[in-house]
Structure 1
Amino acid sequence: MDKRATLADAIARHVRNGQTVAIEGFGHLVPTAAAHEIIRQGFTGLTLARMSCDPLVDQLLAAGCVPRLISSFVGNSSAGSLHELRRRIELRDPEPLELEEYSMGGMIARYTAGAAKLPFAPIRSFTGSDLVELNPMIRSVTDPYGGGEIHVVPALNPDVTIIHAQRADRAGNIQAWGMLGVHQEAAFAGRSVIATVEEIVDDSVVRSDPNRTIVPSHVVDAVVLCPRGAHPTAVQGYYDRDDRFHREWSERARDAAALRRWIDRHIRGTDDHEGFMASLGPDHWQALEVGTQLSAPVNYGGRP
């Protein structure tokens, strides 16, 4: 089945107001362009599940899309704070943000339980943590095998999971390499899955390297060709992390009005992701180019 779609159509078809939407990617392969399309289409009341927060969370909050966040790490990685998120939590400005907080291990356990269609997952590392007191969803049960009490977290099954990857075929077999985060677990846990990719390749390319397929087509509902769809994060082999953007974001987001003007100009003021890229200027992308470093070939063998 051909599951190719435009980004606008994929978001319009699968996202609804009030849903829980997981937008995952850890350090790279972050589907930022999909988050921008959620803003363009004006969705509201969303619960955002994101293991590691970054500028796209600030953007979704400032755009009025997300009143509730499930997460484990908050920060503009190596570049400062997420000031819109801080305003919501520390000052309740312009309105409070409901935060359901876990450790990164806790988020992984939630997605893993969701992917396995289990009701919860045990996790040892919450012992002694203040999170147990702060988050009533972290509970304890008695080990039926005599190991005493152990903490558990509930399964997380997002209504929609959105991921980004290097390539896919037309059926939605998703291939990725580099740091993968919780792509696979979040995808299998999602009730529907949108994947944005740098390239859509011929079926034979995917078949030539099957072990690189992290999410098979039967899990995916829509696959979207979206070059540079993870900016300002990196995509291994395609472009580098935009450190300048991250540093500038920490300063820009200090001013709530300036942040909203940026969203109006670069996201709401553009028709699509290509328009967003153009709005940053033609010279913006040169510094993010990467060279070629091929992996060694693998012999899968086969009968003559």
Structure 2
Amino acid sequence: MAEIRTLHDAVAELIHDGDTVAMEGFTHLIPYAAAHEVIRQGITDLTLARMTPDVVYDQLIGAGLARKLVFSWGGNPGVGSLHRFRDAVENGWPRPLELDEHSHAGMANRYVAGASKLPFAVLRGYRGSDIPGRTDTVSTVTCPFTGEELAAVAALNPDVTVVHAQQADREGNVQLWGLVGVQKEAVLAARRVLVTVEEVVDALQPRPGGVVLPTWVIDAVAEVPGGAHPSYAAGYSVRDNDFYQAWDAVSRDREAFTAWLETHVHGRREAVAR
């Protein structure tokens, strides 16, 4: 059952050195505030899992907290490369980064297998790709009914999944709506779950297309208005496109990035810890 906690306390309790952590949200509802709290607390040696890692993981990688990235495509959406990510891969700064790369379908199916408590998922994919030769989480399986050879991907069960949503009620039930990705699957696949929300309300109102995460699959809820910035929360905020464009220059330079981190993350401890 979920408890309403401060962001600081929830992160300290649920995320530990060496964990596999999934922070999901597809261009929308990305849990930036939670990631910044991880940086402030210096939680390290993390395996970061995410479909389409973007700026939020660029920041965690640049802060030196990641030892491995499990992902499908990475970039600054609409702008270009993730330069802290590239620096880690190409130059080992601030530390070397191990990669486990997948297709979008492969990552989604890994979460589904994890959520279903199955050891692997089956899909048609990866043919003609060199990815299976570079990871031990892709293999093949022969269909017992047709004899067809299919791709198999190992289940992904994060130690912790972190997502951002619009609302939670006081019992810890959560509702998110608008553009969603694999948040539900990543939550159900995880051993522990932290959800940050725009607001805690007395009762959730049904929304067309809304996804409800029940309190019994969540460990902690933290109220963090604006916790998805610079991404957006439908009904609460809009995407800060200027930030994504400005990030390109900040992230290209190690000193500029370090100064940004000190000012906008370490220097804003009280602003986001609610």
Question: Structure 1: where are the runs of 5+ without partners?
Answer: 276-304
RMSD: 1.6
My pick for the range that moved more, 135-144 or 76-85, is 135-144
Kindly provide the amino acid, as one letter, of the partner of residue 13 in structure 2. R
**Further displaced range: 8-17 or 133-142:** 133-142
Residues 33, 273 of structure 1: 8 Å contact kept: no
CA deviations on 1:250-298 (whole Å, 9 max, x unpaired) are 11111011101111111112223448xxxxxxxxxxxxxxxxxxxxxxx
Show the counterpart of 2:242.
Answer: 244
Distance 1:255 1:21, change over 3 A: same
Q: TM-score, normalised by structure 1?
A: 0.86
Contact kept, 8 Å, 1:168 with 1:174, in 2: the verdict is yes
Partner of 2:50: 50
TM-score, with structure 2 as normaliser: 0.95
Task: Classify 1:147/1:273 alpha carbon distance in 2 versus 1 (closer, same or farther; 3 Å).
Answer: farther
Identity of paired residues, percent?
A: 48
Query: 2:256 corresponds to which residue?
Result: 258
Q: Deviations over 1:11-37 (max 9, x none)?
A: 011111001011000010000000000
**Structure 2 counterpart of 1:59, which letter?**
Q
Matched ranges for 1:141-152 at <5 A:
141-152=141-152
Whether 1:118 aligns to 2:118 is: yes
Counterpart of 1:216? 214
Q: Alpha-carbon deviation of 1:248?
A: 0.5
Please tell me whether residue 71 in structure 1 is matched to residue 63 in structure 2: no
1:27 paired with 2:27, answer yes
Q: Quote the Cα distance in structure 2 between the aligned partners of 1:158 and 1:263.
A: 26
Q: Is the partner of 1:95 in helix, strand or coil?
A: coil
Partner of 2:6: 6
User: What residue identity is the alignment partner of 1:170?
Assistant: R
Alpha-carbon distance, 1:147 to partner: 3.3
2:165 is equivalent to residue 175 of structure 1: no
Give, in whole Å, the separation in 1 of the partners of 2:94 and 2:11.
Answer: 27
Cα shift readout 1:221-275 (whole Å, capped 9, x = no counterpart): 1011110000000111111111100000011111011101111111112223448
Confirm or deny: 8 A CA contact 1:234 1:240 kept in the other structure: yes
Deviations 1:184-220 (A, max 9, x none): 00000010100001111113x34x5597343111101
Q: Which residue of 2 aligns with 1:289?
A: none
**1-structure distance, mates of 2:127, 2:247:** 36
Partner of 1:271, secondary structure, is: helix
Aligned counterparts of 1:130 and 1:2: Cα–Cα separation in 2: 42
Q: CA contact under 8 A between 1:80 and 1:247: conserved in structure 2? A: no
The one-letter amino acid of 1:212's match is G
Query: Structure 2 CA distance, aligned partners of 1:57 and 1:179?
Result: 20
Secondary structure class of the residue paired with 1:121 = strand
Identify the structure with the greater strand proportion. Answer: 2
